[in-house]
Structure 1
């Protein structure tokens, strides 16, 4: 049980494995005003940057679960580096079936709603670990601009236009599921560039070191097209944000 090696190659230098930045994660933590002792569960926690920095900056405690052995090891190292290994733990496992033994104050899935088969299933999964009155954090893409054709849809790594909504539509979707949106922090084109371009450099450096690896052909072809694809489609049409939700009464 692990991610394909190509994922860890692309994101080898990243601390945050999505287009939100470390600074924007800090903004979100401050906006939520989390009290010391807040208990968190982070599903598909990646390298654990959110949980580790919030443990350092806000005194939260919690558990991250991720399917990648490489990312989980990096998260544990980060916890030691920031001096919070006594407050956070990282588990290698399938986040799609993980429910906390005890209710938590904040349950999150930042950029991996496929673990629940989409937004509704991921919200339902997270709620199973959440105490009454707690907060969900969902990281999710949306259409920044209306894609004009199927080439644009596929250029944004989607199969169908209706896989995503625009930003107002996504906020409406959370409401349809019975949740109030109480905070949001959005990526912008610059943070998309930082996320995507760092992948290109990671891939190129890896190719230079491993020209004869079995993945070299695949990643060389990817690097030849990824920058143009990003500039033409993703940075223009695809938005991304983290949304804080609280269950509506009744």
Structure 2
């Protein structure tokens, strides 16, 4: 059980594996200001940057779950680097269906709502680990602009336009699921650039070091096409944010 290598090649230099900068991740932490000792569960935690930096900055503890052995190795190294390995643990495995042994104050899935077959299912999954009065953090795309055609929809990683919602409708949908939206921090085009454009240099450096790898042709084709595709579609049409929810 692991991620395909292409993912770890693209994001080899990333600390945050979604369209958030480290500054926006820190802003989110300050916005909700968790009390020292708050326990967190982070499903599909990637390289564990949220858990590790919030343990350092806010005194939280908790567990991250991810399918990638490469990302979890980086997460454990980051926890050791920041001196928080005694408070943060990581579990290798699928996050779908994972429920904390004891209720947590913060349950998060930041940018991987496919683990619950979509945002509503992920909210229900997070609820199963949440202590009364706790917060859920959900990272989710939304349409910045109405996609004009199916090519735009597919270039933004959706099958149908209805796979994502405009921001007002997404916020309304959270309410229909029994949640109060109590905070949000949104990616902007610069943070999208730092996520996607940084992948191009990662790919190029990998290609230079691994010209004969079996993935080289695939990654070369991706590098050739990605900049124009990104500037045409994702950068203009696709928004993304982390939404902080509390049960009604």
Structure 1 match to 2:159: 159
Residue 119 of structure 1 deviates from its aligned partner by 0.5
Structure 2 match to 1:193: 193
Structure 2 match to 1:178: 178
Residue 8 of structure 1 deviates from its aligned partner by 0.3
Structure 2 match to 1:74: 74
The CA distance in 1 between the partners of 2:169 and 2:157, in whole Å, is 19
Structure 2 match to 1:142: 142
Greater CA drift, 90-99 or 135-144: 90-99
Structure 2 match to 1:6: 6
Residue 151 of structure 1 deviates from its aligned partner by 1.1
SS state at 1:97 partner:
coil
Structure 2 match to 1:226: 226
Structure 2 match to 1:36: 36
Structure 2 match to 1:105: 105
SS state at 1:63 partner:
strand
Structure 2 match to 1:244: 244
Q: Deviations over 1:77-136 (max 9, x none)?
A: 000000000110011111102110000000000000000000011011111000111100
The CA distance in 1 between the partners of 2:159 and 2:99, in whole Å, is 30
Structure 1 match to 2:211: 211
Structure 2 unaligned blocks of 5 or more: none
The CA distance in 1 between the partners of 2:219 and 2:130, in whole Å, is 40
SS state at 1:96 partner:
coil
Residue 58 of structure 1 deviates from its aligned partner by 0.3
Structure 2 match to 1:58: 58
TM-score, normalization by structure 2: 0.99
Structure 2 match to 1:93: 93
- List, as ranges, runs of 4+ consecutive aligned residues in structure 1 with deviation greater than 2 Å: none
Aligned length: 248
Residue 159 of structure 1 deviates from its aligned partner by 1.2
The CA distance in 1 between the partners of 2:34 and 2:127, in whole Å, is 19
Structure 2 match to 1:22: 22
Q: Deviations over 1:59-94 (max 9, x none)?
A: 000000000000011000000000000110011111
Residue 154 of structure 1 deviates from its aligned partner by 1.2
The CA distance in 2 between the partners of 1:174 and 1:164, in whole Å, is 13
TM-score, normalization by structure 1: 0.98
